[in-house]
A and B are shown apart, each in its own frame.
Chain A
Amino acid sequence: MIGLEHFLILSAVLFSIGLYGALTRSNAIAVLMSIELLFNAVNVAVVGVARYTTPFGLNAENVDMLLTGQVFALFIVTVAAAEVALGLAIVITMYRNQGSVDVGEANTMRR
């Protein structure tokens, strides 16, 4: 039977794959893609905890608050979308200025 533990460990596995990619990739866009993996792994953990655990003082009136975790995940999605748009803008600017998107070579933000 699948429980909270399965979702949390799967989330940890996805997170560490994304972490590995973010640390080892040298292309800036590949780093951005790995960071998207991190966001998604966290979302799985947040929604899993919201689905399987009981909030303190749960009763018939405040039962809506069970979905707070899903609302939280929605905001994470919003922030991730903003992050990737700005990240790509920075990468494109970097490519224009330096002719390369290698994060190892990027040691200045100006020409």
Chain B
Amino acid sequence: MTGGIEESGVFTVIWWVIATLTVLSALLVVYLQDLVKAAMALIGTFLGIAGLFVMLNAEFLAVVQVLVYAGAISILLIFGIMMVRDTQRGSPANSLRIPALVLGAAFVGIIAFVVMDTQWNSLGDAVLSAEAQTGVEGVFSDSPRVIGGLLFREFVLPLEAAALLLTATLVGAIALVKGE
């Protein structure tokens, strides 16, 4: 799994650009008082994460991210903002600001320490047979086909459960909003 584009400097530069844009727009989501603008920043975050998925060889997931998150969920949120005419009053921060800041910083610190301290069982260093090596490369270059196979073989029960969940959600949302 070594070599190729991921070793190149261009990959590193693109990663840092996407990561910076994603974090900046995530900060805007929690900082902006106007909720419509915050929703636009949220779309930016979703698109940045789709870019990260492409860099992780998860092209199918990147497309799903753009369709479901940047397309459907953000539009749903904007509809919600428009239906609830409470946006002009803004969203002032409450008294939890300092504890939440401390909690977030502590979380990042702990995770960073643990991640750097862990000896990851890296795929690049793995000792594999030549056959398995070509298999690994094939899986990552042809991920949508493999995901489809997994979904309808190993994960067919969770897939049906997800269908049930979506149906129940649809019924529940209609029942809630329809009223008496």
The residues of A with any CB-CB pair to B shorter than 8 Å are 1-10, 12-21, 23-27, 29-30, 32-34, 36-37, 40, 43-44, 47-48, 50-54, 58-60, 63-68, 70-71, 73-75, 77-82, 84-86, 88-93, 95-96, 100-102, 104
Q: How far is the CB of A20 from chain B (nearest CB, A)?
A: 5
Q: How far is the CB of A46 from chain B (nearest CB, A)?
A: 10
Q: Are B86 and A95 in contact (CB under 8 A)?
A: yes
The residues of B with any CB-CB pair to A shorter than 8 Å are 6-7, 11-12, 15, 19, 22-23, 26-27, 29-30, 35, 38-39, 42, 45-46, 49, 52-53, 55-58, 60-61, 64-65, 68-69, 72-73, 76-77, 79-81, 83-84, 86-87, 90-94, 96-97, 99-101, 103-105, 107-108, 111-112, 115-116, 120-124, 126, 128-129, 131-132, 135-136, 138-140, 143, 146-147, 149-151, 154-155, 158, 162, 165-166, 169-170, 172-174, 176-177, 179
Q: A9-B111, A84-B76 are in contact. Are A25 and B91 (CB under 8 A)?
A: yes
Q: Are B86 and A60 in contact (CB under 8 A)?
A: no
Q: Which of A19, A20, A102 has the most CB of B within 10 A?
A: A20
Number of A-B contacts (CB under 8 A): 261
Q: Which of B64, B77, B140 has the most CB of A within 10 A?
A: B77
Tell me whether chain A's interface is mostly helix, strand or loop, or mixed: helix
Chain A contacts for B128, CB-based, 8 A: 58-59
Cβ contact of B177, chosen from A19, A44, A92, cutoff 8 A: A92
21 CB-based A-B contacts, threshold 8 Å: A2-B15, A14-B22, A19-B107, A25-B93, A27-B35, A27-B90, A29-B35, A29-B77, A32-B77, A33-B29, A33-B77, A43-B61, A47-B56, A53-B122, A68-B150, A74-B61, A74-B64, A79-B162, A82-B165, A93-B179, A104-B94
Chain A contacts for B138, CB-based, 8 A: 63
Q: A12-B112, A24-B97, A70-B61 are in contact. Are A92 and B80 (CB under 8 A)?
A: yes
Chain A contacts for B68, CB-based, 8 A: 77, 81
Q: Are A30 and B72 in contact (CB under 8 A)?
A: no
Cβ contact of B146, chosen from A32, A67, A90, A96, cutoff 8 A: A67
Tell me whether chain B's interface is mostly helix, strand or loop, or mixed: helix
Q: Are B132 and A54 in contact (CB under 8 A)?
A: no
Q: Are B77 and A19 in contact (CB under 8 A)?
A: no
Q: Are A100 and B86 in contact (CB under 8 A)?
A: yes
Chain B contacts for A21, CB-based, 8 A: 29-30
Across the interface, name the chain B residue whose C-beta is closest to A2. Answer: B15
Q: How far is the CB of B179 from chain A (nearest CB, A)?
A: 7
Cβ contact of A29, chosen from B80, B105, B126, cutoff 8 A: B80
Q: How far is the CB of B145 from chain A (nearest CB, A)?
A: 10
